[in-house]
Chain A
Amino acid sequence: EDQVTQSPEALRLQEGESSSLNCSYTVSGLRGLFWYRQDPGKGPEFLFTLYSAGEEKEKERLKATLTKKESFLHITAPKPEDSATYLCAVPKELNGSSNTGKLIFGQGTTLQVKP
């Protein structure tokens, strides 16, 4: 069964303290991995899509990387405004082949950056 697992569940950092969030997945054939940021009481905001192992994408202090089994979201010198829940997701397949358009989400990592 397709699964997405994120760790840690919660992460507290001091401002400027770099770290990484992990997203591991078990799917038969990866058709992309998505990272979102969600602030309390708001909908998820799209950050990155990664399609193949070795791919990297950056946006400000965030860099997402992808291997065959997991993805990392690296946060460099975080600021308090980076505090949020970070979600990763992979497409859900039907019968191992077709793209349903649906996403399987991990439980998220809640990041708190203290000044």
Chain B
Amino acid sequence: GAVVSQHPSWVICKSGTSVKIECRSLDFQATTMFWYRQFPKQSLMLMATSNEGSKATYEQGVEKDKFLINHASLTLSTLTVTSAHPEDSSFYICSANGLQGISTDTQYFGPGTRLTVL
């Protein structure tokens, strides 16, 4: 149980284009989903927190117009990197907290999406 998937697992795009990353909780309903960014050999950096049906809360320094988050259901959240530039290249990871039947304290992580912007 507690499986989180992400799609795509990697993506290469041209500078100026937008990229959408999906995060799904496969076998549980998630009260909250989180989006992280990770640079090589560094720990996870929280970008934003999203709850189903409401606006995402962004961490300080994260541009909300740059990183659009939509949490349409209890099992799906999407992160869209708009007008991507090479500095947006990174490893993006989502996580989800359980609603019931799964610990509501524990975050379960997806496998990550490697974004490369040329």
Residue of B nearest to A87 (CB): B43
How far, in whole Å, are A32 and B46 apart by their CA atoms in the complex?
Answer: 19
CB of B1, distance to nearest CB on chain A (Å) = 11
Dominant secondary structure of chain B at its interface with chain A: strand
Residues of chain A with a CB closer than 8 A to B105's CB: 31-32, 49, 91, 99
How far, in whole Å, are A46 and B103 apart by their CA atoms in the complex?
Answer: 12
Interface size class of A (residues with CB under 8 A): 20 to 34
How far, in whole Å, are A49 and B107 apart by their CA atoms in the complex?
Answer: 10
How far, in whole Å, are A107 and B42 apart by their CA atoms in the complex?
Answer: 7
Contact yes or no, A106 B43, CB < 8 A: yes
Q: Does A58 contact B (CB under 8 A)?
A: no
Dominant secondary structure of chain A at its interface with chain B: strand
Residues of chain A with a CB closer than 8 A to B4's CB: 43
Residues of chain B with a CB closer than 8 A to A36's CB: 109
Q: Does B114 contact A (CB under 8 A)?
A: yes
Instruction: Given the known inter-chain contacts A49-B105, A106-B43, please indicate yes or no for A42 contacting B112, CB distance below 8 A.
Output: yes
Interface residues of A in 41-89 (CB under 8 A from B): 41-46, 49, 87
Contact yes or no, B43 A103, CB < 8 A: no
Contact yes or no, B103 A43, CB < 8 A: no
Instruction: Given the known inter-chain contacts A34-B106, A43-B109, please indicate yes or no for A102 contacting B46, CB distance below 8 A.
Output: yes
B103's contact among A49, A87, A107, by CB below 8 Å, is which?
A: A49
How far, in whole Å, are A99 and B32 apart by their CA atoms in the complex?
Answer: 12
Contact yes or no, A101 B49, CB < 8 A: yes
- A sample of 19 cross-chain residue pairs with beta-carbon separation below 8 angstroms, ordered by A number, consists of A34-B106, A34-B107, A36-B109, A41-B114, A43-B4, A43-B93, A43-B109, A43-B110, A43-B111, A44-B44, A44-B93, A44-B95, A46-B106, A49-B105, A101-B31, A101-B34, A105-B44, A107-B42, A107-B43
A sample of 16 more A-B contacts (CB under 8 A), given A46-B108, A101-B34, is A34-B106, A41-B91, A41-B114, A42-B111, A42-B112, A43-B6, A44-B93, A45-B109, A46-B109, A49-B103, A91-B105, A100-B49, A101-B97, A103-B46, A103-B107, A108-B43
